[in-house]
Amino acid sequence: MQHQQLVTIQQHLYEEQRRNYPQASGEFSWLLSGITLATKIIGDRVRRAGLTDILGVTGDQNVQGELVQKLDVFANQALLHCLGSRGNVAIMASEEGEHAIVVDRDRKHGKYVVVFDPLDGSSNIDVNVNVGTIFSILRREPDATGTREPLADVLQPGRKQLAAGYVVYGSSTMLVYTTGHGVYGFTLDPSIGAYIISHERITMPKQGSLYSVNEANSDTFPEGYRRYLAHLRSGEAGKTYSSRYIGSLVADFHRTLLKGGVFLYPPTIHYPQGKLRLMYEANPIAFLAEQAGGRAIDGQGDILDLQPTALHQRTPLIVGSQKEIEMLLQFVR
């Protein structure tokens, strides 16, 4: 029997750099290896959460006004440590922190900015629902004087992302990422401690049969969204859609990426500007969606074209297959 060749994420990155960026120095691969190391550490702790004193809240609130889970703190520290020691990261921004973090040692010449949600969906961890890590990488021009305001380097439109991805900690640990040349998926093989390619060039179906939204809030959605959901349920769209909602963005988007359909977090009465964070959640998810042939909008235009104005800026997010997004725009415009 012929054995399938195992391609690790490090091998894949090397080949992608050789093909697309032959002059690359290897620093970008070194940076991504910091992310993969951190997610292995986080994934191991998530798997053992019920056996260690890591479940529950710390009693604190983060800058978003949400209760901080113990695993939030652990995941955040793991990423800060693994990325801060790379030697080429100048600035890090975490959903858990109020301000961007400058890596003093690399402030002048660090090439990269890394933005991340260390543990998306962490409020579900106590009931063993899938959680994940989301990340976005931006280029930063060297600051020879070390005096440029760090926020200026972070608040870049999503179109300027060099790479984005997420890790979903579920029945298996899977990393999905893009550098602008397609979307690839890697599954962690715990027997060798390496991410192995399992999904080559992921493509989102042009149309799906699932929609994902917290329908308990539907009475607070703008009218166009309510009519759109009714349209999907009625069969008038040419098929009858089924509802699937987990409540963990990484898990809901992962299903949408592979199966097609649409995920919606519209504006509501309580969150008229939307609830999801543009920098930490919407931009990286939108980059992945577009690279897979889908689309992500804020209800009007593409997420990736938005100019961020604040580190923790919120936005509505509708992401999914081309057909479902086109239908939505007919109802909301």
From the CB of residue 86, how many other CB atoms can be counted at a distance below 10 Å?
A: 20
Residues 66-87, mean pLDDT to the nearest whole number: 87
| Of 126, 92, 120, 90, the residue nearest 108 (C-alpha) | 90
In this structure, the dihedral spanned by the alpha carbons of residues 69, 71, 73 and 78, taken in order and rounded to 10 degrees, is -160
Owner of token pair 């992500």: 296
Question: Per DSSP, what are the bridge partners of residue 183?
Answer: 178
What is the pLDDT, as a whole number, of residue 17? Answer: 82
Angle at the Cα of 77 from the Cα atoms of 247 and 130, rounded to 5 degrees: 20
Name the segment(s) of the chain with CATH classification 3.30.540.10.
Answer: 9-199
Q: What is the mean pLDDT of residues 195-219?
A: 96
Choose the most confident range, by mean pLDDT, from 120-124, 126-130, 190-194, 303-307: 303-307
Residues 79 and 256: their CA atoms lie apart, in Å, by 26
DSSP, collapsed to helix, strand or coil, labels residue 194 as strand
Assess contact for 268 and 220: CB atoms under 8 A: yes
- At 126, the pLDDT band (50, 70, 90 cuts) reads confident
pLDDT of residue 60: 62
Mean pLDDT for the chain overall: 90
Our CA angle for 248, 75, 308, nearest 5°, is 65
Q: Give the confidence band of 52 by pLDDT, cuts at 50, 70, 90.
A: low
Q: What is the rounded average pLDDT of the residues 193-213? A: 96
Between 229 and 61, residue with greater pLDDT: 229
Q: Encode pLDDT of 275-302 as tens digits.
A: 999 999 999 999 999 999 999 999 999 9
Looking at the predicted structure, is the pLDDT value of residue 53 above 60? Answer: no
Q: Where in the chain is the domain with CATH 3.40.190.80?
A: 210-332
pLDDT at 110: 82
CB contact at 8 A, 131 and 120: yes
Torsion of CA 27, 31, 33, 37, to 10 degrees: 150
The CATH H-level (homologous superfamily) assignment of domain 9-199 is Fructose-1,6-Bisphosphatase, subunit A, domain 1 (3.30.540.10)
In Å, how far are 13, 17, 141, 142, 161 from 24, measured between CA atoms? 11, 7, 16, 17, 17
pLDDT in tens, 223-268: 999 999 999 999 888 888 999 999 999 999 999 999 999 999 999 9
Confidence band for 3, pLDDT divided at 50, 70 and 90: very low
CATH class as words, domain 210-332: alpha beta
Residue 1 has pLDDT above 90, yes or no: no
